[in-house]
Amino acid sequence: MKEYINEMLQLQNNLLSLFKRNYPTVKHHNLLLDCLRIGELDVHGQEWLFKKHGKGLKFKRKKPLPELIVDMHNYFSEPDVLDEWRLKQYLDSLSVSYSKNDVRNCLNELTLACV
């Protein structure tokens, strides 16, 4: 599980960095008030689409397959934030089997390790 978490955090960091570079006119990263509703990014030759929702963006990798999902639904400006929803969305997009308890326990362990 921890390997997937590390992959996801790296992806979030890459996506946020490229988003800021490609869309420099977006200044309000906490609420994304001045953000496009939809857009796309090229991440090292991969095609990623994004859609604004709520206080965040949902990224979907279209090419190459499989389609991956990184849903930064809140705390968009903080790419090291991870919650149960983000992790489940990512794991589901990878077709990884997991239980809710696995996810919760792993996130709790990470939280305790950071305290």
| Domain residue spans of the chain | 2-114
pLDDT tens figures, 69-79? 999 999 888 88
pTM for the structure as a whole: 0.89
**Angle, helices 2-22/84-93, rounded to nearest 10 degrees:** 100
Interval 72-111: pLDDT, tens? 999 888 888 899 999 999 999 999 999 999 999 999 988 8
- How far apart (Å, rounded) are the C-alpha atoms in residues 26 and 20? 7
Instruction: Say if residues 19 and 41 touch (Cβ distance below 8 Å).
Output: yes
